[in-house]
Structure 1
Amino acid sequence: MALMLAWRFFKRELFQGQLLLIIFAITLAVLAVTGLASVSDRLQVAIEGQASQFIAADRIIQSPREIDPALLAIANKAGLTQTYVLEFNSMAYAGDKFQLVKVRAVEEGYPLKGQIELSTGQAQGLPKRGSLWFETRLAGLLSQPEHIEIGHANFTLSAEITRLPDAGFNLFASSPVVLMRMADVAKTGVIQPGSRVTYLYQFAGNASQLTAFEMQVKPLLNTSQRWIDVTSGDSPIANAVKRAEQFLLLACLLGIALACAAIGIAAQRYCQRHYDVVAMLKTFGASARQIRILFSVHLLLVTSLGVVLGLVLGIGLDKVISLFLPAEIASYSPSLLRPVLLGTATGLISALMFSAYPLLRLLSIPPLRVIQRQLESANFGMWLHLLLSLMAMGLLGYLYSGQLAMTLTVVLTVLLLGVLLSLLGFLMIKLGHGIGMKTTNPMQLALAGLRRRAKQNAVQLVGFSCALVLLLTILALRQDLLEEWQQQLPDNAPNYFLVNIAPEQKQGVEDYLFEYIDEVPELYPVIRGRLTQINGEETLTKKQVEAGESGRLGIGRELNLTWREQLPKNNQILEGHFNQKPNDVSVESGVAERLALKVGDELTFTIDNQTVSVIIASIRDVHWENLQPNFFMIFTRDTLSSFASTSILSFRLENDKQQVIVGLLRLFPTVSVIDVGAMIAQLRQIIDQVSVSLSLVLGLVIMASALVMMAQTEAGMASRQRELAVLRTFGASGWLLKWATGLEFALLGFIAGVLAVWVSEFSLYLLKTQVFELNVYMHWPWWGIAPLSGAVLVGLLGLWRCRQLLNHSCSELLKGH
């Protein structure tokens, strides 16, 4: 009986339009989450697809030995394309000259992503058997030979490599690279039992294949094996992709928060509208169980309809937006399963948990409300409502992002918004307490309206403030990310690096470059050294620490050290002062954190079999994303100038001056030239795509926020119609009512703007320090712009929504009531 009544109840209210608000809210919630998730997944897959060209594959397993064939069988079963690269160092001979080289042996299919760039253009295929492709500087180091020997084999140097897709950005790579066929490795005789080699197993496929492969394989890797993707390491592209992915995740988390706010407000309004219905049913003898079933089924039907509509519109939104995306992004089509599941979960979980408290209040409505309509249920269990709301938001956020810090930031932001609404918002609304119903002053009438609808306005403030917080947070992060990327890759960024400049070559190199470029950059001296002690305690490698040996963790390799008289431009002092005393050293913050170093600690290095002790004078923040020479340790000249060193410098050369590099190599054949122009161009292309992504997500959030604001103005139309009828009866003019209504909404918007600035600054502080690692600063213009913009936006929106009521006559308003 209750089920049948619920169905009839649902049909009647649906056709009469009384369910539109909550259906609209649920649809909006599912639409926002599904649409944002679909679009962000597409953008994320596209960005990773473009960025994967920097590692020549989608995923890589790095291992010091051949991996278990069972792992490769998993890749085959997942449908992944695969190949592998073998890397090892060997000596190359040409006549009486020799040079240490890094050999990269590849098999058919390499590279899976990207292209090999030769001096003659893009490579077609791989080197032929018995021939090598070689890095340009090798020819200069060996006096331009036609053939070289590696181990027992003789090879023809057939083509110069200008760039490998997975070459990375290692300015201090001392060995030139040669590329050979995998089949030629055996005849060199170089690889023997115990030889130090690196296997790079490369895989490519679509997102679902890669995810399935990763879930199965990563747990099977041992400690000597490493899983690599585009976000691995500290390369410029890795950090750009990480931050882009974090931004997209954050946008969807904020979309979830927006959805929860919309559904919570709509559920509150839904239950309030049915107070009289429950009182009447109780009067007619309906049991508590019947009423629970009636409204549970009714709410389930409403939620189901909203979820279905939201999913259809969310998927449609993704399809429409893909028509306007660049072709390289639109060509990627990730699975819709995840956005659909997330949208469904958002609709069902948030509708259930956000409506639990309003539904409990609805079911406790006393039958006497039929006679005394001002009666409501007891205001109990608010702590339960708060707990369920936060649980719903946190659960959905963590299920989507898998990032605890980001999810907690969103939850804490919501908590702060609630506290401010309680302490500040309600207080400001109560400022109109002593103002009566004088109809001669629009401001007084607006303040009186705020006082009379204090509870309803407090609820509306939640929606308006949430919408503004979303806009301010997303806008600020987008701007900060784009500005940082622009600073890292300015238009005049260096595109060439000169490495291994001998001391006797420094002046000649500077004089040569001075003829062709406006300003010759400063040379950085480079000295190799090993950290051996910290505060007199011998350092251990990571493997020794993991094996249980006691001692301070150190760095298990030699470091590239330099000296500087002034702090590099792309560095920032976090603690202490830059080198002032002869034995001072400045340490990069990441190394300082990993080794638990602090200002005042003593470090001991071994350089050229000599011991050097220095004191940490400062901790530096280094922007590794900059394509600039960067160092973990910067010493003073007094400490390092007596040691043998080479130098490194970077400079910019326009594309039409390539002959300058040719002339430089002829004059200084042992100097290594690293061309990063192609890398910069590709990195800029990816950042441009990220910029499109950030702008697109911002647009979606603006749309969702606007829809929530529109839904908020709908909530109070019934009570506002009654008030307008009364005021019209007492002779209030249309002009007065329009101004009073506009001012009332404008005051709400102003308060929402103040709250939004407070909450946005708080959330941005947490996000920048805990997630994005960006510089924190106050957005002072917001403190004036946000409240005024909120007042104008909400005021105009309220007037637009109330336009019909304001144009009605007194009799029309009374008939409508």
Structure 2
Amino acid sequence: MEWTLAWRLFRRELKQGQLVLIILALTLAVLSVTGLARVSERLQVAINGQASKFIAADRIINSPVSLDDTILQQATMLGLKLSKNLQFNSMVYSGDEFQLVTVRAVDDAYPLKGHIELASGVTDKLPLPGELWYESRLAALLGHPDTVELGNSRLKMGAALSRLPDAGFNIFASAPLVLMRLDDVPATGVIQPGSRVTYLYQFVGTPAQLQAFETYAKPLLTSSQRWVDVQSGDSPIASAVQRAERFLLLSSLLGIALACAAIGIAAQRYCQRHYDVVAMVKTFGASARQIRILFGMHLLLVTVAGVIFGLLGGFLLDALIMLALPAEIAAYSAPVLRPLLLGVATGFISAFMFSAYPLLRLLNIPPLRVLQRQLEGVKLGMWLHLMLSLLAMGLLGWLYSRSLTLTLTVVASVVLLGLLLGVLGLLLIRMGQSIGMKTTNPLSLALAGLRRRARQNALQLVGFSSALVLLLTILALRQDLLEEWQKQLPDNAPNYFLVNIAPEEVSPMQTFLQQHAIDATDIYPVIRGRLSAINGEEVITSEQKEQGQRGRMGISRELNLTWRDTLPRHNRILQGHFNQAADEVSVESGVAERLGINVGDALSFVIDNQTVVVKVASIRAVQWETMQPNFFMIFTREAMAPFAYTSMASFHLNDNQKNVVLELIRQFPTVSIIDVGAIISQLKGIVSQVSLALTLVLVLVVMASALVMLAQTEAGMATRQRELAILRTFGASGGLLRWATSLEFAILGFVAGTLAVIVTEFSIWLLKTQVFELNVYAHWAWWLMAPSAGATLVATLGLWRCWQLLQKSCGELLKLE
């Protein structure tokens, strides 16, 4: 019986529009989350897919020994594509000439992603058996021979190699690179027990296949074997990709916060409109159980409808956005199940947890309200509503992002917004307390309206402020991220590196660069050295640790050291001061964190069989993506004076200046020139895609915020209609009411804009310091623009929504009642 009655009332109220607002709010909530999740995941897949071309695969296992066959068999069983590579250093000979080279031996599957670039252009082929592909400078160093000797083999000099897709960015690897077939390596005899060889196992597959393989393989790897992907730090765009993914996660979390605001507003409005219905039903003898079934079923049906419409809208939104995406991004398919489940979870969790408090108040309405409409029953503690709301938001945020930091940042911002609304909002709204119902001027009437609807206006402020906070946060982070990347990769970013500059060539090189008006970086001295001890405790490599040796973990290779009198560009001191005394060193923050190095620690280095002990004077943050020469350790000139060194620099050349490179080679034949223009192009391509992602997400949040503000404005229309009828009865003119309504909404918008700036500055400070690692600065222009924009936007929105009511006469308004 109860279910039948509930269904009949549901259909009637649906026809009358009673439930339309909450269905629209739920639809908006699910649509925003599903759409943002779908678009975000597609963009994440696309960005990672494009970025993975830097490593010619989706994942790599880097190992000093041959990988266990069981791991490779598991990869094959999961359907992954596999390429096996070897990399080692060796000498090649041609007559009396010889040269150290870096040998890359690959199988037929190489490269799994990207293309090999020859001097003659891009190719999909590999060297023939018995053939080498080589860097052009190797041919010059050996006298342009037809064949060379590598170990026991004589190999034909084939094509001139320009770049491998996974060549990486190691400007200190001055040995020329040669490419050969893996099958030709045994005949050379250069690989013997104890030889230093790097085994590279490259894998390509779907996200699900890669995740399954990672779960299986990672626990089986030793400490000397590394799992590499585009975010592992081996890629030059690791930082850009990680920041972009965190931004997309944050955007979806803010979409969830937006959804929660919409649900809360709609649920509050729905329950308030049914206070009289509950009182009347109780008067006719309905039990508490019957009322719970009645409204519980309404909430369930509304939630199901909102979830269905929201899911359809979310996938439609994704389909429409796909049409606007570049083909290389649209070609990537995004997971369907996770956005679908997230949308369903958002709808049900937010609907029930954000409706719990209004619904409990509704169920406690006394029957006596039929006679005394001011009665609202037992006023449950607001703490319950806040707790349920924050719990719902935190749960949804964590389910989506799996990032506690991001989730807590959003929740903390919401708490701050609530506190500010409780203090500043209430004070500003109560300014009209003593004005009453005067109709002498629009401002007095607007302030009186704010006072009379203090509670409702507080809810409206939540909606307006939330929407503005979302807009400002997304806008600020998008702008800051793009500016950060543009600073790192300006149009004149260095695309050539000069290495192995002899000391006597430094001055002539500076003169050459100045004569040709080349914008070059400083010339940095480079000295090879190994970190041997920290505070007197000997450091060991990962291999030594596996063999049972004791000591503090260090770096398993020689470092490239330099000296400077001043702090380099794109470096920032985090702790301490830059080198002042002769025995001081500045350490890069990532290495300091990994090795547990602090300011004041004593570091011992072995350089040319001599031990140098220095004290850590500072910890530096380094922007590795700038394509500038960067170093882990920077010493003083005095500390490095006893040691031999070569130098390096970088510079930018336009395409029409390529002849300068040929002249430089002729004048400085012993200097190695490394062209990193291809890497620059790839980096800019990734940043361009990230920029598109940020713009799309901004558009989505703008649309969703506008819908929330519309829903919030709609919530107060019934009360405003009755007040307009009363004011018309007392003789208020249409012009007075229009001005008063505009001013009332403008004041609300101004307050919302002010609160939004405060909360946004707090949120951005948290996000930049805890998540994105960006420089923090105040957005002073917002303190004027946001309140003004909020006042204009909300006033326009409110006046547009109230326009039809304001045009009606007193009699027409009373008939609407």
2:332 matches 1:319? no
2:98 matches 1:98? yes
1:43 alignment partner AA: L
2:761 matches 1:761? yes
More divergent stretch after superposition (308-317 vs 594-603): 594-603
Q: Deviations over 1:386-411 (max 9, x none)?
A: 22211111111111111111111111
2:31 matches 1:35? no
Distance in 1 of aligned mates of 2:297 and 2:76: 48
Distance in 1 of aligned mates of 2:546 and 2:352: 48
More divergent stretch after superposition (460-469 vs 618-627): 618-627
Aligned residue in 2 for 1:789: 789
Q: Deviations over 1:77-97 (max 9, x none)?
A: 443322221222222222233
Aligned residue in 2 for 1:609: 609
Distance in 2 of aligned mates of 1:409 and 1:601: 34
Distance in 2 of aligned mates of 1:626 and 1:698: 26
For residues 378-393 of structure 1, the aligned pairs below 5 Å read: 378-393=378-393
For residues 61-80 of structure 1, the aligned pairs below 5 Å read: 61-80=61-80
Give RMSD over aligned pairs. Answer: 1.9
Aligned residue in 1 for 2:467: 467
For residues 371-770 of structure 1, the aligned pairs below 5 Å read: 371-541=371-541, 552-770=552-770
Residues 51, 237 of structure 1: 8 Å contact kept:
yes
Residues 140, 670 of structure 1: 8 Å contact kept:
no
Name the CA shift for 1:423/1:61 in 2 (closer, same or farther; >3 Å). Answer: same
Q: Deviations over 1:271-330 (max 9, x none)?
A: 111212222222222221221122111100000001111111111111111111222212
Name the CA shift for 1:206/1:388 in 2 (closer, same or farther; >3 Å). Answer: same
Residues 45, 332 of structure 1: 8 Å contact kept:
yes
1:90 alignment partner AA: S
Aligned residue in 1 for 2:224: 224
For residues 344-383 of structure 1, the aligned pairs below 5 Å read: 344-383=344-383
Distance in 1 of aligned mates of 2:295 and 2:235: 56
Distance in 2 of aligned mates of 1:679 and 1:727: 70
Residues 518, 653 of structure 2: 8 Å contact kept:
no
Q: Deviations over 1:246-286 (max 9, x none)?
A: 11111001001100111111111111112122222222222
SS in 2 for 1:691: helix
Q: TM-score, normalised by structure 2?
A: 0.97
Aligned residue in 2 for 1:812: 812
For residues 83-94 of structure 1, the aligned pairs below 5 Å read: 83-94=83-94
Q: Deviations over 1:604-650 (max 9, x none)?
A: 22211122222323222211111010011111212213310011111
Distance in 2 of aligned mates of 1:62 and 1:533: 26
Unaligned runs of 5+ in 2: none
2:262 matches 1:262? yes
More divergent stretch after superposition (141-150 vs 802-811): 141-150
Q: Deviations over 1:729-766 (max 9, x none)?
A: 00001111111111111111111111111110111011
Aligned residue in 1 for 2:278: 278
SS in 1 for 2:662: helix
Residues 89, 101 of structure 2: 8 Å contact kept:
yes
SS in 1 for 2:27: helix
Q: Deviations over 1:31-82 (max 9, x none)?
A: 1111111111121111112111111112222233333434334433443322
Residues 172, 499 of structure 2: 8 Å contact kept:
yes
SS in 1 for 2:804: helix
Aligned residue in 1 for 2:197: 197
Name the CA shift for 1:72/1:542 in 2 (closer, same or farther; >3 Å). Answer: closer
Distance in 2 of aligned mates of 1:539 and 1:221: 22
Residues 47, 241 of structure 1: 8 Å contact kept:
yes
Residues 140, 669 of structure 1: 8 Å contact kept:
no
Distance in 1 of aligned mates of 2:609 and 2:89: 24
Q: Deviations over 1:340-385 (max 9, x none)?
A: 1111111111111111111111111111112211111222142222
Distance in 1 of aligned mates of 2:141 and 2:514: 24
Q: Deviations over 1:493-523 (max 9, x none)?
A: 1110011122233344444444434445431
Residue 215 of structure 1 and its aligned partner are, at CA, apart by: 4.0
Distance in 2 of aligned mates of 1:725 and 1:693: 49
Aligned residue in 1 for 2:233: 233
Residues 579, 586 of structure 2: 8 Å contact kept:
yes
Aligned residue in 2 for 1:60: 60
1:117 alignment partner AA: E
Residue 533 of structure 1 and its aligned partner are, at CA, apart by: 2.8
Residues 86, 199 of structure 1: 8 Å contact kept:
yes
For residues 157-172 of structure 1, the aligned pairs below 5 Å read: 157-172=157-172
Q: Deviations over 1:567-618 (max 9, x none)?
A: 2111122233322332232222222233333333332222111222223232
Q: Deviations over 1:538-566 (max 9, x none)?
A: 33445667888765443332211111122
SS in 1 for 2:757: helix
SS in 1 for 2:624: coil
SS in 1 for 2:66: coil
SS in 2 for 1:625: helix
Distance in 2 of aligned mates of 1:390 and 1:716: 25
Distance in 2 of aligned mates of 1:433 and 1:658: 76
Distance in 2 of aligned mates of 1:146 and 1:668: 25
Residue 224 of structure 1 and its aligned partner are, at CA, apart by: 3.4
Residue 25 of structure 1 and its aligned partner are, at CA, apart by: 0.4
Name the CA shift for 1:290/1:165 in 2 (closer, same or farther; >3 Å). Answer: same
1:188 alignment partner AA: T
* Number of equivalent positions: 817
More divergent stretch after superposition (65-74 vs 420-429): 65-74
Aligned residue in 2 for 1:252: 252
Name the CA shift for 1:394/1:298 in 2 (closer, same or farther; >3 Å). Answer: same
Name the CA shift for 1:375/1:105 in 2 (closer, same or farther; >3 Å). Answer: same
Aligned residue in 2 for 1:340: 340
More divergent stretch after superposition (650-659 vs 735-744): 650-659
Name the CA shift for 1:461/1:569 in 2 (closer, same or farther; >3 Å). Answer: same
Distance in 1 of aligned mates of 2:705 and 2:777: 25
More divergent stretch after superposition (12-21 vs 615-624): 615-624
More divergent stretch after superposition (738-747 vs 138-147): 138-147
Q: TM-score, normalised by structure 1?
A: 0.97
Residues 103, 178 of structure 1: 8 Å contact kept:
yes
Distance in 1 of aligned mates of 2:454 and 2:546: 62
Distance in 1 of aligned mates of 2:609 and 2:21: 78
Name the CA shift for 1:530/1:72 in 2 (closer, same or farther; >3 Å). Answer: closer
SS in 1 for 2:359: helix
SS in 1 for 2:87: strand
Residue 109 of structure 1 and its aligned partner are, at CA, apart by: 2.2
Aligned residue in 1 for 2:123: 123
Residues 750, 790 of structure 2: 8 Å contact kept:
yes
